[in-house]
Amino acid sequence: MDLLEYQGKQLFARHGVPAPEGRPASTVEEAVAAADEIGYPCVVKAQVQIGGRGKAGGIKLAKDRSEAEENARAILGMDIRGLTVHEVWIEAASEIASEYYASVVFDRSAKAPLMMLSTKGGMDIEEVAASDPDAIARLHIDPLIGFQDFHGRRLAFEARVDADVVRPVGSMLARLYGLFVEEDATLVEVNPLIVTPEREVRALDAKVTLDDNALFRHPENAGLRDVSGEDEQERMAKERGLTYVKLDGDIGILGNGAGLVMSTLDVVAEAGGAPANFLDAGGGSKAEAITSAVEVILSDPKVKAVLFNIFGGITRCDEVARGLIEAFAKIDPKVPFVVRLDGTNDVEGRRLLAEARLPNVYTESTMDGAAEKVVELARAA
Ligand code: GDP
Ligand code: MN
């Protein structure tokens, strides 16, 4: 789960990471009231889950009340690379002497958190990584030892941080690491981490990703989900307990088991098609779950044809067939379906489908055959 900047900063406050004071607002009136409380000059910042807000005009300095109002009016409702701004964060303006970059990410291959620090902050870090990789100091932290002062000194030294701020930068890194571990985050990124002319160190931006699978340990974080930033189909699937990822193509995919669905995507691509989604209905799916999954797939208007690829183990092919028949009774789909049923109760499943005489449903016995058929149908549509 990706957090908005201000939600990340709420976690920063909880963990003692220094950041400018601020208030969220979702209307112009609220924004002006917040700006009055914070005082001037302040910064009005668009809250969307995407970087580069500054360049897109989503971050504006206000030196008085009328500018705060003007900026809030301009930014609320603004479209930033496809995302609508529903909220702004009003923050005390900072003076900047230097912009650094700091992050903690989980490095799966090393099975340990990786900390990064650079004095080339404020810009696109991927660009720095490509053009000047030595400008980013990196250090893995042994999770059993945790973050120690010497880790901070070593990163600061390697990144060539100004000598007078090595201590406060190290202390900020320690707090970011604490947040990362205690909140079960998979990413904590501060870009820029600023040094003010008074040589104070502060987090000016916050990008935090929490591990969804650990949310049950943090009921206080469950409310941080930004529903407006989520894709409509993905939200619908999540509510229905389905594993669904939206993709760019026009062929809806349903399978049982993540591995089978992944290989189905490959086979469809190989046959020249473009999958519209990944949908794993899971093992042992009952008819109801299948009907519910069909509704999610078809709620994507781009879908021109659907492929069911079921290998019955715990999942029974007759249940899948019943689910599809129910879905047809309930929503009367207009797009063609190709169904490949193999394994437990496949004969029964195919018999049910044949008897139901569903319009536009084609059965295939092999995965390759099914992929070719669905690509052909999507093209013809
Ligand atoms: P992003 O563009 O989405 O990454 O948003 P950031 O919060 O990182 O802001 C982008 C840039 O705006 C920063 O790198 C700063 O240069 C500038 N900026 C943001 N807040 C302030 C502020 O309070 N004072 C000044 N002088 N610049 C700011
Ligand atoms: Mn930033």
Taken in order of first residue, the domains within the chain and their CATH numbers are 21-92 (3.30.1490.20), 98-224 (3.30.470.20), 232-380 (3.40.50.261)
Decide if 127 is catalytic: no
Residues 74, 61: Cα–Cα separation, whole Å: 12
Q: Any idea which of 45-54, 55-64, 112-121, 142-151 has the lowest mean pLDDT?
A: 45-54
**Count of alpha carbons within 13 angstroms of residue 365, beta-carbon side:** 1
Q: Is the CB of 51 under 6 A from ligand 1?
A: yes
Whether 147 and 172 have beta carbons less than 8 Å apart is answered as no
What's the gap in Å between 204 CA and the centre of ligand 1? 7
Q: Which of 68, 62, 24, 60 is nearest to 41 (CA)?
A: 62
Q: Which ligand has the minimum distance to the alpha carbon of residue 81?
A: 1
Model confidence at 82, pLDDT cuts 50, 70, 90, reads confident
Model confidence at 191, pLDDT cuts 50, 70, 90, reads very high
Q: Which residues contact 341 (CB under 8 A, 6 or more apart)?
A: 308, 310, 312, 317, 320, 321, 349, 350, 353, 363
Burial per residue of 80-101, b for 16 or more beta-carbon CB atoms within 10 angstroms, e otherwise: beebebbbbbbbeebeeebbbb
Residue count (the chain)? 381
Decide if 182 is catalytic: no
Mean pLDDT of the chain: 94
Q: Is the CB of 93 under 6 A from ligand 1?
A: yes
Give residue 229's pLDDT. Answer: 61
What's the gap in Å between 182 CA and the centre of ligand 1? 27
Q: What's the one-letter identity of residue 273?
A: G
Give residue 226's pLDDT. Answer: 64
Give residue 235's pLDDT. Answer: 83
Give residue 227's pLDDT. Answer: 61
pLDDT at 192 over 80: yes
Q: Is the CB of 57 under 6 A from ligand 1?
A: no
Burial of 42 (0-12, 13-18, 19+ CB in 10 A): buried
What's the gap in Å between 231 CA and the centre of ligand 2? 23
Q: Which of 174, 173, 165, 175 is nearest to 201 (CA)?
A: 165
pLDDT at 94 over 70: yes
What's the gap in Å between 261 CA and the centre of ligand 1? 42
Give residue 64's pLDDT. Answer: 98
pLDDT at 228 over 70: no
Give residue 285's pLDDT. Answer: 76
Mutual orientation of helices 367-380 and 258-270 as an angle, nearest 10°? 60
The DSSP 8-state label assigned to residue 3 in this structure reads: P
Give residue 231's pLDDT. Answer: 76
Model confidence at 311, pLDDT cuts 50, 70, 90, reads very high
Q: Which residues contact 201 (CB under 8 A, 6 or more apart)?
A: 18, 165, 168, 169, 172, 193, 194, 195
Q: Is the CB of 43 under 6 A from ligand 1?
A: yes
Q: Which ligand has the minimum distance to the alpha carbon of residue 49?
A: 1
Residues 253, 294: Cα–Cα separation, whole Å: 9
Annotated catalytic residue: which of 100, 101, 177, 244? Answer: 101
Token pair 């990340």 is found at 8
Q: Which ligand has the minimum distance to the alpha carbon of residue 4?
A: 1
Give residue 114's pLDDT. Answer: 98
Most confident of 181-190, 235-244, 284-293: 181-190
Give residue 289's pLDDT. Answer: 87
Note the pTM of the prediction, 2 decimals.
0.72
Whether 173 and 196 have beta carbons less than 8 Å apart is answered as no
pLDDT at 185 over 80: yes
pLDDT at 254 over 80: yes
